[in-house]
Chains A and B, each alone.
Chain A
Amino acid sequence: MFRNKAQIPLVLLLLAVIFYSGTVNAEDINDRYRSSTVIAMFDYSLPQPVLLVGVSEPLMESAYTSEIVGQLPPSTNEILEIEDPIQGFNRVMFVGNDFFIMWIMRPVSRTYEFIIPLYFRERIGHIYDNSQMPRKVLSNLCRSRYKGAGIEFSRFLINTTVGIGGAYDPAYDWWELRPYPSDFGAAFADWGFEHGAYIVLPIQGSTSVRNVTGLVLDTAADPMFWVSWFLLPFPIGLSVNGGLSVNGASLVISAYERMRSSSIDPYMTMRNYWYLRRIYDIEQ
């Protein structure tokens, strides 16, 4: 795969011919083979660039002397169609959530990480994801993605049985059934509803008017919600929900910390990333 470029012999042959004919000079070489960067490397006699390397490029002439030519593309806000009319409220919520994540969730998560190794946390995450079958199947159906709904249902059956309650993913590993993730926010998007305003909710975090509406239906289609709040005794239901939240946080909190430390305005970074992520969720 990795071998020396064998382009020199042909070039040398051409050069030898020119030498032999007694007419060699650098300008000739340059004129004849201007397109070849290899030839250009032999070109000693051309004047050295005095001010700018590559100043002869037409682009350079305008690059330093003219104002911006033409209209810049739309800004990121416009490209991503971000409406943020209640930014003040959102920023307050963001600061509150950030405090909650960094000063409450992070220490709890760190302790939890120490007790439960990553491997088992991943399995718990998979089991929870597997339990979300009704949401994924119903929202796929609402989006007329019948194949997706069928595959999600098949994945649920296989992973629940062979995959030990969803801890493992034999549906993909053995039968190559790729997930068709979906939610009701994506269904609303498919039906033509716009995002509406960007909203940061307490604890929940980034969302939009469209997604909040979808979230209500997502929750209604979440079996864990009904089991933990209506079937189990309250303290146990609370523990299950809290445990799942801490488990989920332990898998992503490092990424959040990294985003937070590397961003000059974490609110904007989070907002832009969330919009891009939603585009991906809907498109995949």
Chain B
Amino acid sequence: MILSNKKQIRTGLAGIAVVFILLTAAVVNGEVFDLTDYPSQHPAVDSLRTELFYVSKDSSAWDRMSPLYRSFYQTRTTGHTQIFPKREPLTYNLWLQEKPAELIVVLPGLGGHYSNVTSTAFADLFYNAGYSVLVISSAMNWEFMESASSVKAPGYTPVDAADVLNALQVISKQLDREYPGKIKRRLLLGYSLGALHSLFISNIEYGVKQPLFSRYLAINPPVDAFYAMSVIDRYYMVGAKWDKVEMDRRLKKAVKVYMELVSGKTDKNKKIELDADEAKFLIGVNFHLILGDIIYSIYRSHKLGIINAEYSWCDRNKIYAEINTFSYRKYIKKYLLKVYSEKFNQKLTVAELNRRSSLEAIRQSLMKNPAIRVLHTKNDFLLNKANHKWLAEVLGERLTLFSDGGHLGNFYLRDVQQKIIESMIIKQKTK
């Protein structure tokens, strides 16, 4: 009898434990969406599918017969705002609804320009959902750096995010002046590095009486900024193991596949005919070129003495040759350490810079801020297992995980788009 009671108690406790775990799991895990029809390959190959996300509206022949026809991109208003005196004004693209509407601000990924295809596709998506949309360049894009950055070298997230917020505050005031009553609430969306910045902006605004944004949606943010950069370096290094013949063969193949992808000739349901190394190398080269732009921008704006080649308008091959020797890790060491050690007047380490640049630094506000939503993929190559665990632990049900897509490679799916739009909806509190 006693034994039987003990058994019952143990069974009962186990049942309670299961219920407890079930409830806890629902909170900690957030949502996980299985993209069953996704033609999944290596995360790097999947990531190339971000090129399949472009302006969706396929205009009819009748539309194009009208002399008044304009493509979605051509319907934008390009605005300019002076952020700092004696500098070029910051430029942005704006799609404004005719009636008063909520404004979504889009922050692109690393090096992204305000006119880039992915940001424009987001603008199209949200404009058709009834929102007004504003897109600015990434804090690590040369255009933003030269107009709105308060530092000589971008890459240190707290300062970059503060610069972005400052620019957006100035732009908001300008929009309120130019379009009174047209903008209701402001919502912030960032993807990739833009997502990291949007979360840091949420940290700055957390607890503020009248924050600029009512929602912060971060899509595929890196958790650990410098880890993400080191992965990009590793991807670029893939090409170093190929000899000239191998490089030539793989490059031709990769360029052909990529150009067809970009020009919309690829069947979205079929697998991409690239192997993991080729995709990694394409991604690595792309980000390496972006890094080149960043360093070139610093070179022409500030004399830091890191690039030694003499400037010549006629021949910049030597400058680019020197810039090409930089990886992201080298950039962090040569530029960020130098600039921020001077700025903070203390000798910093890379680990210290990274600690302040990564999401762990804003853990407390991330845990508490109800206005945050994060969408991520389970196989994003910029995250490691610890990062995934960390996100789930800190964000709980505010995190949504997609099963596939690598880094940004599932935006073209209608269901993912729907989830992105849903994540922007702020439910009104019922009295």
Q: Cβ of B64 and Cβ of A72 under 8 Å apart?
A: no
Determine if B386 and A49 form an interchain contact, defined as CB atoms under 8 angstroms apart.
Answer: yes
Q: What is the CA–CA distance of A65 and B226 in the complex, to the nearest angstrom?
A: 12
28 CB contacts below 8 A, A to B, read: A1-B36, A1-B37, A4-B34, A6-B34, A12-B25, A15-B21, A16-B21, A19-B21, A20-B10, A20-B14, A37-B378, A41-B388, A41-B393, A49-B386, A53-B390, A57-B384, A57-B386, A64-B329, A68-B327, A68-B329, A71-B240, A73-B236, A73-B239, A74-B247, A76-B292, A87-B317, A114-B67, A254-B71
B102 within 8 Å of A by Cβ?
no
Q: Which residues of B contact A (CB under 8 A)?
A: 10, 13-14, 17-18, 21-22, 24-25, 28-29, 31-37, 61, 64-67, 69, 71, 73-74, 91, 113, 115-116, 142-143, 223-224, 226-227, 230-231, 233-234, 236-240, 242, 247, 251-253, 255-256, 259-260, 281, 284-285, 288-289, 292-293, 296-297, 313-317, 320-321, 324-325, 327, 329-330, 349-351, 354-355, 358-360, 378, 383-390, 392-393, 401, 403, 415
The reply on A79 being an interface residue by CB < 8 A is yes
A→B interface (CB under 8 Å): 1-8, 11-12, 15-16, 19-20, 37-38, 40-44, 49, 51-57, 59-60, 63-65, 67-68, 70-77, 79-80, 84, 87-88, 91, 114-120, 122, 254, 258, 261-262, 264-265, 268, 272, 276-277, 279-280, 283-284
Which residues of A have CB within 8 Å of B233? 68
Q: A79-B247, A91-B313 are in contact. Are A42 and B66 (CB under 8 A)?
A: no
Q: A68-B329, A77-B317 are in contact. Are A19 and B17 (CB under 8 A)?
A: yes
CB within 8 Å for A265 and B14 given contacts A57-B386, A60-B227, A77-B317: no
Q: List chain A residues, Cβ under 8 A from B281.
A: 73
Q: Is the CB of A72 within 8 A of B389?
A: no
A-B contact count (CB 8 A): 229
- Residues in B with CB closer than 8 Å to A284 are 256, 259-260
Contacts of B69 in A (CB 8 A): 117-118
Find out whether the CB atom of A52 lies under 8 angstroms from the CB atom of B314.
no
CB-based contact A2/B403 at 8 Å: no
B314 touches A87 (CB 8 A): yes
Contacts of A11 in B (CB 8 A): 25
Q: For the complex, what is the distance from the CA of A54 to the CA of B330, rounded to whole Å?
A: 21
Given A79-B285, A119-B64, are A54 and B256 neighbors across the interface (CB < 8 Å)?
Answer: no
Contact indicator B74/A254 (Cβ below 8 Å): yes
Q: A8-B22, A40-B392 are in contact. List 13 more A-B contacts (CB 8 A).
A: A1-B36, A2-B35, A37-B378, A51-B354, A54-B386, A59-B231, A63-B329, A73-B239, A119-B61, A120-B65, A268-B316, A279-B255, A284-B260
- Contact across chains for A88 and B256 when beta carbons are under 8 A apart: no
Whether B32 pairs with A60 at a CB distance below 8 angstroms is no
